[in-house]
Chain A
């Protein structure tokens, strides 16, 4: 994959700061601009091709069969009726190979396989394959499965006392510093409260889909995936084939939000069926199956303790979280991840423990950790401010740390307070009224604030950039664009550094035949894959300079021309038969030497109906910093999306597990309430200028998730300000508010 004959590889490990960026010295002036998406015309005209839409000959339709018990062992699977139905080709089982659980993001091993012992209600156990979708769907319902029912653990409340400490994941599960109990006892002001959040579903609009085709022993899978490079390894291991026999294509992905980080059950089912049949098989999960058998954000129970001195300076922070997951699954929702570094405080206790339940897999959903963790932390900060009687922004200002309060390393860049101050000014924070006092007709109004923080991560990522004889650049990486804007920003980075008009850059994504990219997840996509493209372009600049016969820094690239030495030569004339280079970025010591994170401040105004308790978000503003903004338009959209996720998280989204068998009760978009257009006002987003030289050569930090971090907390705090009632059990649905509302 690397070492192309005529190219070279420019590899960088971020061990030291990278103070100079070509993006600052280049002349094309496209970086950062609010440019339209390069893939936009395709998307708006229905010409963008998603996984299930590749036109292959002789495709058979697969429909997945689910287990209908909470736990148990399959004792019989009678497919005779289904098989005999018109159009049905086969009913295929492979208990050992089928995926029990989807895989978590970035893993290089197979996920848990083996479906004969049913681990959760809705687990995928077989696939019906037919000549038509309609025949397959009908037959799937006629597969008769008999189970020896198991004894399951289905109730979080019933088993919460049996929580166990998980292994280290993104963060260690437990962190103890000083003595929180003693500090709490000695504190002047204390808060000791418990917030709860429910299971949630990413609910990307495109259901998980795989179109599998084998040729000469090699599998091509057109799939809906965020991270093809690792998905390919997961798929190869699951199927027992070598990785070089698997190719994943995910050129367009209809949203992911974490749910498509790892492979899901339909991939292996489709691949097995396609192999057995010797023809392509398309398996698209029904929406209900996406709810049942992909991945959820874990519910959380978060005990939040804050102790402060008379001036509101924190002396103790305790954030103890209970989450849930299947037995044997290590992932825990890291609700305390931002609590580690957001505020000052010498005594700290941040823990995560897993309650083992026979519910569908818990894994990543947009901003795992912060999205729900900041509900508790920012809610508790708001409660503390109220208790002390100082402004919540002032309280945060007083607890602004000068360095990471645990690791004692500096922040690479941190503009939390400027975000809060800018937001306060823009939103009219000074007009905030005492809780429960702003009544307008039948509506109570309130405003709230919360900090946003999301750790910045860099992942290993590679890309190849070539320049053809016409002077056009081609970017190739298996990185994806799941709506994030990758096509566009990679084109902008390339155009900027190589001095090309944007339309002369062609970006090819989502094909594992290309160099392995970071994938889309954890907000690392732009920084990681963008840096790999940067590095490839940097190498190409060297090649161009050499061809021009000048020093690199004596050369200006602009509008497809190379300008140096009083000459202006079309790039096409210099590249000969073409140039190419590969860039590769990898995380290094900068991660340990600096605390890197994106920051922001959310401001929300809500109205609460005094009769019904209905809550409507009236206004919302997010002010963010995330290093260099690569495209002001797509960056803003990322934040709009995050903030809207926050609205759903705060007000409506709750995945309900039946306490009798763990099954998802509200398993469709009619009853799992993601926000609709009418739930979302014209949100405002502003970015403050920032560069982060410790993050990567782009000086950009992650942006895909910071918009959700704290958003729900700001709404919760606004709701308190409106009503004077603090509800800590999310989502804040009207049934929980009724009791605290004024009598009618």
Chain B
């Protein structure tokens, strides 16, 4: 554990924007200099096209890339580095599953079950697949606190349910879903479970074997790493049987005029020149998180969530979406203010140099389910501090007045 790593002073963006209160961490996190330095070092000292060059520098690039894969493998407890596929982001990871596994395994009359709170990236690939294959797309509803029950899942599964897609933490509610239990129920039904870890992997320890999920997706940029690098974990026996997603260079074994044999896992799914700078940046981000330790990360994030939640509850006309306790929010506080449109809320915060998100957070069906048009969201990370939360609360108190209301 290294408490110094909690500090904003590790993040160069706050030297440039020294008055910025950044509370849009669920959208993307800021990058510590340790990560930026590592990515830059790759391009300065190790850059070559990896996985093919027969010279020293290319071997260095290959090592950097493959070592990053092992770092990711250990970080999420995967059995083998063959189970770690680098992608651009969680969205691409989920598309890969839907296109490759989905097209090969889902047919007419089959059912696809998707949690209603899923981000559009974990919904649209399934919606398209269902249309293409004549499969039925069904939704698992949550209650207004964002809770999905084991019973509801059991009732929703049928012998035709081929796949269940759900995030470990919803980007609107911040609540942790009982993925381990859900995976057991799915497997007993012969259903594959696809878990989106975009909001969980940066904030809580995630072990894919312990959870028992078949696939896990996440994005590097939401966990201190550069944009453009993401991960798909897949159980080896599933990945092995899946056809390629994208095709091209570096994913083949042998190509003739008529056909091709494909490279071994995970390269079968990594067509074209890969993002080594992103991968080593992600590995550096994981090193940073490991050195800090999830114990400290969770303690800090939970304390700040509790402070924000408690103060928000005291402000009239402010309504928090989801659970009525801070512990079930994990740094994500989505809210509305009576009579004020979320975009206007965000604009008021922006005028005070506070960055929050407003809109439907790429979860329109959930907003329809909750009967709200759109919402505002503050989402924090360990590098936020008490002062950030105080400034957020002070501004929150003024929003209605600044929009012309008397109270």
A and B physically associate: no
B-binding residues in A (CB < 8 A): none
